[in-house]
Chains A and B, each alone.
Chain A
Amino acid sequence: MFDYETIRLIWWVFIGVVGIAFALTEGFDFGVGTLLPFIGKTDVERRVIINTVGATWEGNQVWLVLLGGAIFAIWPAVYATLFSGLYVAMLLVLFSLFFRPAAFDYRSKIEDPRWRNSWDWSLFIGSTLPPVLLGVLVGNLILGLPFHFDQDLRSFYDGSFWALLSPFALLCGVTGLLLTTFHGALFLKWRSEGVIHQRAVNTVNALGPMLLIALTAATVWVFVGIDRPEITQMAATDAPSNPLHKTVIAHGASWLHHFMTYPWMWLAPLTAFSGIALAWLLGKGESRTGAFVLSSLGITGVALTVGFGLFPFLLISSTAPGSSLTLWDGTSSHNTLLLGFWITIIFLPIVLLYTRFVYRVMWGSVTEAAVLKDSHTLY
């Protein structure tokens, strides 16, 4: 069907698609959770906010689970190195995600204000820490991570958790949080009326410029201040996966040079900035759907910028450049990639179809009246 080289490239695209789907869908869930204690002043207001995502957050979270599963299946060495190397950071992501299901499902079960307030802050933590930590993670993917493989292809990590928190990575963490919060505010605005709608608009208005500044700073930093390794010799792109069969120079090139070599790649940061800027300009006004779609485009642009910038690298090693993983030497076998391809081709459309059905059934503005009427069935 597809030769090994082609299917490797297809899977790079697929995993990008899953990652973007995660950022777009769970992105607004995170944002709504972050804004919950601030935009919702009373219990009824908070219930309105929670119920804008209440019926669908669980399905959205599967994109994260699938992203992990797909990386495990397609790039097992990346999964092994990333999760074990960033042990403490990954566990912090996991622990913060623990706060979410219980916060959604248990909050409404008891009417006591202290109980409900505690769960609101739990949802805040569970929705705020992951985008910060994942932003820091992306920052470190750009900077490279200190890992190497031994002869048995066992990966060793030579850094610490604290070393991940470099200024650039922290800037990425802040950017990540601003992205999800901005996106979440636009979603909340889309699905609410009255006072909550107005507060969401104000949030969009305030966060837009901050996000654009953070994004500009991070972009300039990457293009001016961060080197990219360069592969000087490697095995064929259809050779069996073994990352140790290549030669890599640590600071061989720059991101600027990389984008200059492939000028079409500039479309990605262009989409990112124009998407976010237009989402802000429209979001301040009446636009609901349009502004949300533009912010989704903007997030897609950000993800593509990082993906294109790293290509063909998946994980850059800062201490042993030769151990870096690329999409040509870090994948599963040809058979497994083909198997995964067919599973994806069959199930992706099915999943999208029924997800669309569920959103259509549950669509419409969530109002205080509706929440009060269904006190015992809604969250």
Chain B
Amino acid sequence: MFGDDIVMLSRMQFGLTALYHFLFVPLTLGMTFILGIMESVYVMTGKEVYKDMVKFWGKLFGINFAMGVTTGLTLEFQFGTNWAYYSHYVGDIFGPILAAEGWMAFFLESTFVGLFFFGWDRLSKVQHLAVTWLLAVGTSLSALWILIANGWMQYPVGAEFNYETLRMEMTSFADVFFNPVAQVKFVHTVAAGYVTGSMFVLGISSWYLLNKRDIGFARRSFSIASAFGLASILSVIVLGDESGYTSGETQKMKLAAIEAEWDTHPAPAGFTVFGLPDQDNQKTDMALKIPYVLGLIATRSIDEEVKGLKDLREDSVQRVESGMVAYDNLQKLRAGDNSSSVKQHFDEHKADLGYGLLLKKYTDKVIDADAATIQKAANDTIPKVAPLFWTFRIMVACGFIMLFIFAMTFYYCATRVADQKRWLLRMAVWCIPLPWIAAETGWFVAEVGRQPWTISGVLPTHMSVSSLSAGQLWFSIGGFALFYTILLIIEMYLMLKYVRLGPSSLHTGRYCLEQQPA
């Protein structure tokens, strides 16, 4: 159909711009909540230091928020510019979710962010607090909608193919909204954002404590971050486990690939801690397994089996064959043959139409595919195992290291000795990048694990792209690389500058850098 280079370049551009956008999103999600908590304490206690905390951490939040807005625009443009056939094919479901995000979330956060920064003297204390919380709710709502959209791509419920319009159409909004994959993903991702905000505040406060500056300010920020962070990381891990369970039901191929489970073993399946996946020979070398654990995660039982990649691939062969029948009957329907037998045949097989479309990569007509081509298409349904296996483990490792940090800092805060534990403060500073590494690897697993599909089982990635030329794609990739690099340098520069200035940047006269002779 399209050259592999167009598909690869489109995927590269989307992957890079989406990952780049997600450098800023989780911090926004977390910071708005932490700002809400800090300001609530301010309103309840009336202590000025909490107001200063809101204002200072708010400045850092603002530097980050601008980048989130900038890079978020790209994604909205990109479905249309680069994934035009996708937009046509699933716009009926995906579009309204995005529009709902605009109405309910973007307006809320973008309208109130201005008041958050500039409304201090124009609003009462309680009004301003309400504005801050509306901002926090807005950002989290935005995550809700986009994860419903993404959840639908992983597990497309509540929609079916309409042969008259040649696209998927929504049959039940309730099914799309309450999609179990989406709900779990939402909580997992939002909580990961809260962890990011907490780790950011915790690490920077630790740095102030290590340098013995603005102790009162830093200690209070540190406590809030450690408590909120502990609650959040526990949610992330519990919901991550819940994701494993829903994947066991809804995304078997992805789960098996993450675990590099080539064969279906008798229940309960073991969890592979370490191993070297070998895609060509369909095996995993040097696998180190913990018995029972995978079975427990994926099926919540010890007597249900977890299907391996080889068996899932056999299912794919059957579905590709069935998809060919669906495609054949679709052509007849389109040619105007509306006889009941054609319709009935199509309806019986239309759930597998997407598997038939996998063949488009090899033959435009689909129905003339021979056995070898069908096998190739079935092979394509197994995602790349080794990268998934490893990125997943990096994400999990980051999560558990952060659990340790938050548990320890919370414990020492409770016993009031946190500032003396210098090793822990140092660790908190060095671990500031962990939530970002976890979030980026997590998205890698979610999206690469869905390949070869954009809509799991419905629309292959190679069908989804726009009719573009490689030159156009290089133009856009070059533009993104240029602008994003410059913006990132500026953003990091400002962020570091304001972190170094600390609360002295508020010019209240109360903080350390202002008290030294100028």
Contact = CB atoms under 8 A, between A and B. Distances in A.
Q: Do A and B bind each other?
A: yes
A362 interface: yes
B112 A77 contact: no
Contacts of A106: 63, 66, 490, 494
B507 interface: yes
Interface in B308-346: 334
Given A84-B80, A333-B170, A54 B118 contact: yes
B123 A361 contact: yes
A101 B102 contact: no
B73 interface: yes
Interface string A10-53: 00000000000000000000000000000000000000000000
Interface string B57-101: 000001101110110011011011110110110011111101111
Interface string A179-214: 000000000000000000000000000000000000
B164 A59 contact: no
Given A83-B80, A91-B479, A106-B490, A344 B103 contact: yes
Contacts of A83: 77, 79-81, 84, 87
Give the contact-size bracket for chain B: 35 or more
Contact of A69 (B67, B76, B113): B76
A267 interface: no
B211 interface: no
A58 B62 CA distance: 12
B16 interface: no
Given A68-B80, A84-B468, A105-B63, 5 more contacts: A55-B119, A72-B87, A72-B91, A79-B80, A336-B96
Given A72-B98, A97-B73, A154 B114 contact: no
Contacts of A80: 80, 84-85, 87-88, 91, 466
A158 to B, nearest CB: 10
Nearest to A83: B80
B423 interface: no
A76 B87 contact: yes
Contacts of B108: 354
Given A66-B99, A72-B99, A362-B114, A82 B80 contact: yes
B507 A94 contact: no
Contact of B106 (A65, A95, A102, A333): A65
A339 B95 CA distance: 11
A261 interface: no
22 contacts: A70-B99, A73-B98, A74-B95, A80-B91, A87-B81, A87-B468, A91-B77, A91-B81, A91-B479, A93-B77, A95-B479, A97-B73, A102-B490, A105-B65, A153-B167, A240-B162, A336-B95, A339-B173, A347-B104, A351-B103, A361-B123, A374-B121
B506 interface: yes
Contacts of B70: 97-98, 100-102
Contact of B466 (A66, A84, A100, A374): A84
A232 interface: no
Interface in B231-258: none
A62 B169 contact: no
Contact of A61 (B87, B95, B110, B170): B110
A79 B95 contact: yes
A376 interface: yes
Contacts of B404: none
Contact of A72 (B66, B80, B112): B80
Interface string B483-514: 10001001100100110000001110000000
A87 B357 CA distance: 26
A362 B73 CA distance: 26
Given A68-B77, A73-B91, A109 B115 contact: no
A55 B467 contact: no
B74 A94 contact: yes
Nearest to B168: A333
Contacts of A81: 84
Contacts of A358: 111-112, 114-115
B217 interface: no
Nearest to B479: A95
A-B interface, 6 closest residue pairs, ranked by CB to CB distance from nearest:
A76-B91, A83-B80, A73-B95, A55-B114, A84-B466, A84-B84
A109 B498 contact: yes
A197 B64 CA distance: 34
B171 A56 contact: no
B87 A69 contact: no
Given A54-B114, A72-B91, A376-B507, A94 B472 contact: no
Contact of A62 (B91, B107, B171): B107
Contacts of A319: none
B476 interface: yes
A151 interface: yes
B374 to A, nearest CB: 21
Contacts of B82: 84
Contacts of A77: 88, 91
B288 interface: no
B362 interface: no
Given A343-B99, A358-B112, A55 B118 contact: yes
A327 to B, nearest CB: 15
Nearest to B164: A240
B166 interface: yes
B281 interface: no
A101 B66 contact: yes
Interface string B35-77: 0000000000000000000000000001101110110011011
Interface in A337-379: 339-340, 343-344, 347-348, 351, 354-355, 358, 361-362, 374, 376-378
Contacts of A87: 81, 466, 468, 472, 476
A242 interface: yes
